[in-house]
Structure 1
Amino acid sequence: MQLGRHISGQFNVELESIRTHVLAMGGLVEEQLSLALHALYKHDSQLATKVKRNDDKVNQMEVAIDEACTRIIAKRQPTAKDLRLVMAIIKTISDLERIGDVATKLSHVAQETFAPKQETLIVSVEAFGRMAVNMLHQVLDAFARMDVQAAATVYRMDDKLDAEHKKVQQQMINFMMQDPSSVPKVMQIVACAQSIERVGDRCQNICEYIIYFVQGKDVRHDKEYLESLI
């Protein structure tokens, strides 16, 4: 990440510290999501409990980084690119915290009991979830380097995630139509798939923050510009 240099050496230290903490939070969230998927696939109740406990750590990291950003705004009164960086970080940690919530949700379902026939649906969700983990990993790498091209590439990955979500969703609908008694349980798995799909949306948001920081352009509603970057 190119943070630039400032007259105040302490300002450089503060920005670098925040950067390090954001990447640490991102790494923890990625691990949480990966472990939650494994717990769901293996019905590992102990692992699911571990993931739920670690959610407090994710939340604490968000609060600490948010407070650090607030101090920088109050003390340094950043402008231009520095201000864009602080705002991008504040928004990024909010999306990371919500991805952490998805991991917690998956862990709750991992501790439920499912019929053998329903296991095929969980296998599909786990495979679909791994696509989301990869997308998260790639966007965190793009954030670490503040790489616009990489961010644009990750942004497009959501198309494949959405397409796979539709396949998994249709599989679940067919299952419930064939076995109406399974609806309550299968709906829990449906909710997991929907939450995983939203991870892709959160990753897209982070891609937009990267572009905003580097280029100073708000691309939230400008898909044509995003496609031009690829």
Structure 2
Amino acid sequence: MSGTTDHTSKNFDIELESLRTRVLQMGGLAEQQVRKAIDAMYSGNIAELEAVVRDDQRINELEVDIDALCNQIIAKRQPTAIDLRMIVSVLKTISDVERVGDKAQKIARLAIGLHQENGSKIIPQIDLRGMAEKALTMLRLALDGFARLDVNQAAEAMRLDDQVNAEYKAMNRQLITYMMEDPRTISRSLDIISIAKAVERIGDHACNIADYVIYMVKGINVRHESTEEILAKLGQDA
């Protein structure tokens, strides 16, 4: 009887590991999509931007597949404790990762419009690449925390959120100044504000994933709490 139990337990572990691997695959694809969209926006590579728009479907398909796998595991294994928390966290995480993919697609669509309307005349003084890199670092840290069950990496992702928010606000102020000084820049500036907002939201989705890591590992729900409150619960400095 114990042999059967051991075998069942081993199979369950394999299923959970497969689940974790698929989430990381989906996260890696979403990260790649964002990076391609930002890079192609500045290089003017329309074909690459169109590929980002088209490839969003791959992320959507992964979300559907992982969701179905989670439901199968719940029905078959009836998990409890940390195993159940992991599956709940996976379901929430893939929702946020899918939205990161949507943001990449939005950036690509807006960038295509900017290039088609204005050629290479994207406002050169506005460079979103630094902010995007911070948001992607947040996403990578949160997903690494998920993979390693490491709340320290989740906390590190949260610490970067203030920097991303500050850069977003600074860019907004700069673009408002452009629009006031030269009304001809209004259309382009509004599109770039939308792109910057999409990047800022990617950081927010990374923070959500970090929240799920903490829930999965510690069993505490930290949604709707400030970064300072969360770090205090983890015994860390802000």
TM-score, normalising length: structure 2: 0.89
The one of 151, 166, 169 equivalent to 2:169 is 166
Please state how far the C-alpha of 1:134 moved relative to its aligned partner.
1.8
Give 2:199's aligned residue. 196
Question: Residue 29 of structure 1 aligns to which amino acid in structure 2?
Answer: A
Give 1:227's aligned residue. 231
CA separation of 1:76 and 1:41: change in aligned 2, threshold 3 A: same
Give yes or no for contact 1:6–1:12 (8 Å, CA) kept in 2. Answer: no
1:122-173 CA distance string (max 9 Å, x none): x422332122122212222222111111111211110010011111111111
Please state how far the C-alpha of 1:227 moved relative to its aligned partner.
2.1
Give 1:34's aligned residue. 35
Distance, in Å, in 2 between the alignment partners of 1:116 and 1:67 is 44
Please state how far the C-alpha of 1:180 moved relative to its aligned partner.
1.2
- Aligned length in residues: 225
1:41-78 CA distance string (max 9 Å, x none): 11210111111121110000000000000111111111
Distance, in Å, in 1 between the alignment partners of 2:196 and 2:225 is 27
1:102-128 CA distance string (max 9 Å, x none): 11111112212237664325x422332
Q: Secondary structure at the match of 1:119?
A: coil
Q: Secondary structure at the match of 1:101?
A: helix
Matches within 5 A, 1:209-224: 209-223=212-226, 224=228
124-133 vs 205-214, which deviates more? 124-133
Give 2:84's aligned residue. 83
Structure 2 unaligned spans of 5+: 1-5
CA separation of 1:33 and 1:116: change in aligned 2, threshold 3 A: closer
Same amino acid, percent of matched pairs: 43
Tell me which structure has the larger Cα radius of gyration: 2
TM-score, normalising length: structure 1: 0.92
Question: Residue 9 of structure 2 aligns to which amino acid in structure 1?
Answer: S
Matches within 5 A, 1:141-152: 141-152=144-155
Distance, in Å, in 1 between the alignment partners of 2:175 and 2:107 is 17
Distance, in Å, in 1 between the alignment partners of 2:196 and 2:105 is 14
Give yes or no for contact 1:40–1:126 (8 Å, CA) kept in 2. Answer: no
